[in-house]
Amino acid sequence: MTPTGSGNVEPGDPYRYRMGWSAGARVSATQRVRDAVQEGSDLLEVSERVLEVIREVLVAARVTVTLIEGDQYRDLVNVGDLHSQQVRFPDHLVYPVSTYPASTAQLLAHEGYISTSSDLEVVREYIALAPQATVGCFMGVPIAAAGEVQGELFALRNPDAPPFMPEDVEIATDFATQFGSRLPELLAAKRASDPDW
């Protein structure tokens, strides 16, 4: 591998984007997410497919889509390395937005966040819920549709992985925007086919 300061990384290195997203890498990743967003009409299937692509291009251990419905979060899909109490499709798992007040405030302000320091409130509230857990770098970005925040795209890396960088948050925001462009349509179809959902 070339020296860290050069900005070059071996092509086979799974963390090849840690030195920044080249224009070509960004276009390629964006096109892959766009293709995943456009395929299919089932909310959970489309969400799962999109998250699998995002997990791969961000080299994340786990990626989650969570909806914000009034004063509650609703986990929709988890992909990646799940702990024993997590499932891929957490059917009807809801919890108050007050569980994560700092994160929620950032998201509702149409801003992403990244766990760059243990002094940040978003990090403290995350760790407070699982104090024994060994936490790697994580980030969250808003999923918006028609100018309103509908949910969050959350990504987590393992503790031994390089941290996310601000450019990762930018590209994740682009991904979330693409997903958000189809979210109202997918939600309407899900609610029409399953009124109890």
Report the sign of the C-alpha dihedral through residues 48, 51, 57, 59, in that order: negative
Residue 13: pLDDT band (50, 70, 90) is: low
pLDDT tens for each residue of 52-77? 999 998 999 999 999 999 999 999 99
Across 101-116, average pLDDT = 94
Residue 149: which of 111, 182, 115 has the closest Cα?
A: 111
pLDDT in tens, 14-56: 555 555 677 777 787 888 888 888 888 899 999 999 999 999 9
68 φ, ψ to 5°?
Answer: -110, 115
Domain positions in the chain: 31-193
Angle 49-51-56 from CA coordinates, rounded to 5°: 100
Kindly report the pTM of this predicted structure. 0.85
Q: How many other CB atoms are found less than 10 A from the CB of residue 166?
A: 11
Q: Which fold has domain 31-193?
A: Beta-Lactamase (3.30.450)
